[in-house]
C-alpha cells in the first residue's frame, strides 16, 4: 500500500466514525469482531448490508490491518475467478458437437 493510499484510508476511517456518531448516537462504529466481519464480507461486496452495518463494517476494516488485508485477498480471489469467464468453446469441439447432433437427428426415432 502506498503512503497516499494509507493516509486516504485513515481519513476515510475518521470521517466514517464521525458520521456514524452523528447519525447513530449511542452506537459505537467499529464494534464488530473480525469473525463477524469475515462473515459479512460477501454481503458487503454485494452491497446488501444495511447502512448501520455497513458503517460498522467499514470502520472496523479501516482500523484492523488483518481484516483490511483479508478483504483485499477475498476481493482478489473473486476477481481471479471472474477471469475464467473468458473461455470460449474451441472450434474443434463445436464442430464435433454439431456433427454428433446431425448424426443423432438423422437417426429414425
- Which chain residues interact with other proteins by CB under 8 A? 1, 33-36, 38, 41-42, 65-67, 69-70, 72-74, 76-78, 80-85, 87-90, 93-94, 96-98, 100-102, 104-105
Tell me how far, at minimum, the Cβ of 2 lies from other proteins, in Å: 13
The nearer residue to other proteins, 10 or 65, going by C-beta atoms, is: 65
Tell me how far, at minimum, the Cβ of 43 lies from other proteins, in Å: 8
Radius of gyration of the chain (CA): 24
The nearer residue to other proteins, 19 or 95, going by C-beta atoms, is: 95
What are the grid coordinates assigned to 43, written together? 454481503
Q: Is the dihedral of CA 42, 19, 30, 10 positive or negative?
A: positive
Q: Which of 100, 84, 83 is nearest to 92 (CA)?
A: 100
CA distance 15 to 9: 10
Tell me how far, at minimum, the Cβ of 44 lies from other proteins, in Å: 11
CA distance 77 to 2: 22
For the chain, give the number of residues: 109
The nearer residue to other proteins, 26 or 81, going by C-beta atoms, is: 81
Tell me how far, at minimum, the Cβ of 36 lies from other proteins, in Å: 7
Amino acid at each position: 500500500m502506498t503512503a497516499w493510499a494509507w493516509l486516504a484510508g485513515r481519513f476515510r476511517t475518521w470521517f466514517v466514525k464521525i458520521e456514524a456518531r452523528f447519525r447513530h448516537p449511542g452506537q459505537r462504529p467499529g464494534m464488530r469482531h473480525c469473525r463477524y466481519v469475515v462473515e459479512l464480507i460477501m454481503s458487503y461486496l454485494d452491497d446488501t448490508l444495511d447502512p448501520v452495518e455497513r458503517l460498522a463494517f467499514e470502520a472496523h476494516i479501516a482500523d484492523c490491518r488483518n481484516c483490511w488485508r483479508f478483504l483485499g485477498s477475498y476481493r482478489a480471489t473473486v476477481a481471479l475467478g471472474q477471469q475464467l469467464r473468458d473461455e470460449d468453446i474451441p472450434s474443434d469441439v463445436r464442430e464435433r458437437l454439431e456433427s454428433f447432433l446431425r448424426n443423432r437427428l438423422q437417426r429414425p426415432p
